[in-house]
């Protein structure tokens, strides 16, 4: 977060526009409407998509007036911009995300999941070296190749994706229940046991 604050300072000092990509981290994913809010700064431009439509294709650009004033008719073209159905879907999503207590629940469930992942790191240091992330965008930095762990997760019925830096990424839906999280972690634990090095498996018996 200090990096973002320093970046804001540099942009202000040199008159630069600070733009942030919130396509994956926005719309409540980290427990705030946008992830940048955790840093206490404000960007000049934000790109939002994916979660904003709740599964319906939708993207949006949010900009401060100093930037937005240049986006006048004729300066930017789009084939599907302003689609009424997509915008209606986005409004419905915002009604849910901005309802009292919704984002607080995402943050709470994120803390619960993070604690469970940290426990896995301590339990299986041969497979994981770190748990990272916020809200319901979490990751496990793997010791083993992330693809091996991902394949084991799929074999256990858990959908997980990979990310940079050899990280296994977990991004459950924002409406996930505590029981769902517990079940997912159980599947992850079984997947972890599948990929344990043979010496560790022998020691665990």
Say if CB 44 and CB 18 are below 8 A apart: yes
pLDDT in tens, the chain (205 residues): 899 999 999 999 999 999 999 999 999 999 999 999 999 999 999 999 999 999 999 999 999 999 999 888 888 778 888 899 999 999 999 999 999 999 999 999 999 999 999 999 999 999 999 999 999 999 999 999 999 999 999 999 999 999 999 999 999 999 999 999 999 999 999 999 999 986 465 455 5
What pLDDT score does 72 carry? 84
Cα-to-chain-centroid distance, residue 54: 14
Strand order in the sheet with 45-49: 19-21, 45-49, 59-63
- Taking CA atoms, 93 is separated from 30, 53, 102, 154, 172, in Å, by 16, 7, 12, 29, 16
23 with 88, same domain?
A: yes
% helix, strand, coil for the chain, step of 5:
45, 15, 35
131 with 185, same domain?
A: yes
CATH number for 32: 3.40.640.10
Say if CB 134 and CB 106 are below 8 A apart: no
Q: Which domain holds residue 37?
A: 2-97
CATH number for 169: 3.90.1150.10
114 with 193, same domain?
A: yes
Cα-to-chain-centroid distance, residue 85: 25
Q: Which of 78, 97, 116 is the last residue of a domain?
A: 97
Domain count, the chain: 2
123 with 198, same domain?
A: yes
List, in order, residues 6 or more apart from 140 with CB less than 8 Å away. Answer: 117, 120, 121, 128, 130, 131, 132, 149, 167, 168, 170
Q: How far apart are the first and last CA of the chain?
A: 42
What pLDDT score does 134 carry? 96
111 with 195, same domain?
A: yes
57 with 118, same domain?
A: no
Q: Which of 71, 97, 123 is the last residue of a domain?
A: 97
Q: Which of 53, 74, 97 is the last residue of a domain?
A: 97
111 with 63, same domain?
A: no
What pLDDT score does 198 carry? 63
The pTM assigned to this predicted structure is: 0.88
152 with 90, same domain?
A: no
Strand order in the sheet with 167-170: 128-134, 137-142, 167-170, 161-163
115 with 93, same domain?
A: no
85 with 113, same domain?
A: no
């Amino acid at each position: 977060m200090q990096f973002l604050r320093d970046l804001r300072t540099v942009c202000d000092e040199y008159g630069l526009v600070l733009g942030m990509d919130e396509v994956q981290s926005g719309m409540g994913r980290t427990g705030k409407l946008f992830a940048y809010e955790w840093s206490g700064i404000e960007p000049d431009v934000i790109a939002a998509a994916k979660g904003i439509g709740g599964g319906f294709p939708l993207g949006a650009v949010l900009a401060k007036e100093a930037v937005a004033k240049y986006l006048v008719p004729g300066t930017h073209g789009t084939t599907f911009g302003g689609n009424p159905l997509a915008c209606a879907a986005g409004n419905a999503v915002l009604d849910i995300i901005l309802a009292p207590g919704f984002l607080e629940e995402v943050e709470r469930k994120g803390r619960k999941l993070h604690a469970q992942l940290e426990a896995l790191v301590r339990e299986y240091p041969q497979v994981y070296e770190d748990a990272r992330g916020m809200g319901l965008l979490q990751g496990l930095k793997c010791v083993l190749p992330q693809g091996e762990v991902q394949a084991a997760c799929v074999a256990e019925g858990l959908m997980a994706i990979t990310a940079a830096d050899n990280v296994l990424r977990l991004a459950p839906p924002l409406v996930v229940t505590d029981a769902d999280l517990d079940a997912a972690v159980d599947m992850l634990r079984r997947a972890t046991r599948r990929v344990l090095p043979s010496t560790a498996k022998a020691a665990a018996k």
